[in-house]
Amino acid sequence: MISALKGILGSALIAASAVAVTTTASAQEFKLRWGHYLPNSPFVQAEKDFAAKIEERTGGRVKIDITFAGGLGKGNELLPLAGRGAVDMAAVVPGYYADRLLFWKAYQIPFIFNSPKQAMEISAASYKKLPVFKEELDKMGVMFLFHQPLGEYYLTGKSPDCDTVAGLKGKKIRSFGADIPKLHQAVGATPVSVGVGAVYEALQRGSLDYSFLNRGNILSNRLYEPGKYNCGPIMSITGHLIVISKRAWAKLPDDIKTIMVEEGEKSGKAYIKSIDA
């Protein structure tokens, strides 16, 4: 009798273990580390909403941990880090990789677009119709999720001289990428490469005469404190790309991939609405 009871209990334990393993496998959790070069602020709310929505729609199977302000890598480091799988997701500024993202950087050429919305609409249409944009990211080992728009760019500094081209001669202006420094040089200014998070202090100390950023970054970084004068708008361009490492993507089940693509499209549209507001 005791022997039979032991057999029944043993069988029950084996069955329970099998169920537990199956349940664990079907509810496998994925933690994605997202490296961001910008500070945490309302300016990137659409991206934080994206992460929250992914967790919600996957029932907690996917958790996205965003590390802001260059905590997992600087702006000019995040693309190769994601490509190698050192981070799972990244915010990538095409202008920081002008020699590798030759087509994507076109969206950050000055005086091409009349508005941020136009730039984003052209970006979305081009990605769908022209394979070269996907191919560029494939070579870097990442996949596109969505594109961040930028509001129009302004010069911000201590002096009102920025309201004329002549007033910019000899001034040190925050610059980035391959083409924007040429714009600044053309008006007699000195382009200076300064990360977004370091602009406030650079304006304070005088190593920059003017920042060159959109309104969202001006507000989120409080650049109106060291620089009370704003001149512009100067130009409209697109912002960074949100990408995921192909190594991380390959590990995700198809249903999660579908959710991420859907939410990426929604986030891109939400971003456009936010700059139009």
Q: What is the pLDDT of residue 159?
A: 97
Mean pLDDT confidence for 68-75:
96
Q: Please check whether residue 2 lies inside any domain of the structure.
A: no
CATH of residue 103's domain is: 3.40.190.170
Q: Please check whether residue 19 lies inside any domain of the structure.
A: no
One domain for residues 265 and 219 = no
One domain for residues 105 and 52 = yes
One domain for residues 53 and 37 = yes
CA–CA separation, 99 and 147 (whole Å): 20
CA–CA separation, 19 and 13 (whole Å): 10
Interval 158-211: pLDDT, tens: 999 999 999 999 999 999 988 899 999 999 999 999 989 899 999 999 999 999
Interval 56-70: pLDDT, tens: 999 999 999 999 999
Q: What is the pLDDT of residue 276?
A: 62
Q: Please check whether residue 16 lies inside any domain of the structure.
A: no
Mean pLDDT confidence for 99-117:
93
**For residue 6, pLDDT beyond 80:** no
One domain for residues 112 and 55 = yes
Helix (H, G, I), strand (E, B) or coil at 20: helix
Say which DSSP state 214 is in. Answer: E
One domain for residues 171 and 225 = yes
CATH of residue 167's domain is: 3.40.190.10
CA–CA separation, 237 and 152 (whole Å): 7
Count of other CB atoms within 10 angstroms of residue 103: 15
The answer to whether the beta carbons of residues 235 and 155 sit under 8 Å apart is no
Q: How many domains does the chain have?
A: 2
One domain for residues 58 and 146 = yes
Q: Please check whether residue 17 lies inside any domain of the structure.
A: no
C-alpha distances (whole Å) from 15 to each of 3, 10, 146 are: 18, 9, 44
One domain for residues 125 and 177 = no
| pTM score of the predicted model | 0.84
Interval 11-49: pLDDT, tens: 444 444 443 333 344 567 999 999 999 999 998 999 999
One domain for residues 245 and 216 = no
Full residue range of the structural domain in which residue 90 is found: 28-150+238-276
The answer to whether the beta carbons of residues 242 and 47 sit under 8 Å apart is yes
CA–CA separation, 211 and 220 (whole Å): 14
Q: Are strands 172-175 and 190-193 parallel, antiparallel or unpaired?
A: parallel
One domain for residues 242 and 131 = yes
The H or E element spanning position 148 is: strand 142-149
One domain for residues 188 and 260 = no
One domain for residues 45 and 132 = yes
Q: Please check whether residue 254 lies inside any domain of the structure.
A: yes
> How many helices (H) and strands (E) are present in the chain, helices listed first?
10, 10
Q: Please check whether residue 5 lies inside any domain of the structure.
A: no
Q: Please check whether residue 12 lies inside any domain of the structure.
A: no
Name the H helices within 58-206. 78-84, 116-129, 132-139, 180-186, 199-205
Four-point Cα dihedral 119, 176, 47, 71, nearest 10:
170
One domain for residues 203 and 243 = no
Among all chains, which residue has been given the structure tokens 């945490």? 40
Mean pLDDT confidence for 81-100:
97
Q: Please check whether residue 32 lies inside any domain of the structure.
A: yes
Question: Considering the chain, what percentage of its residues have pLDDT values greater than 90?
Answer: 79
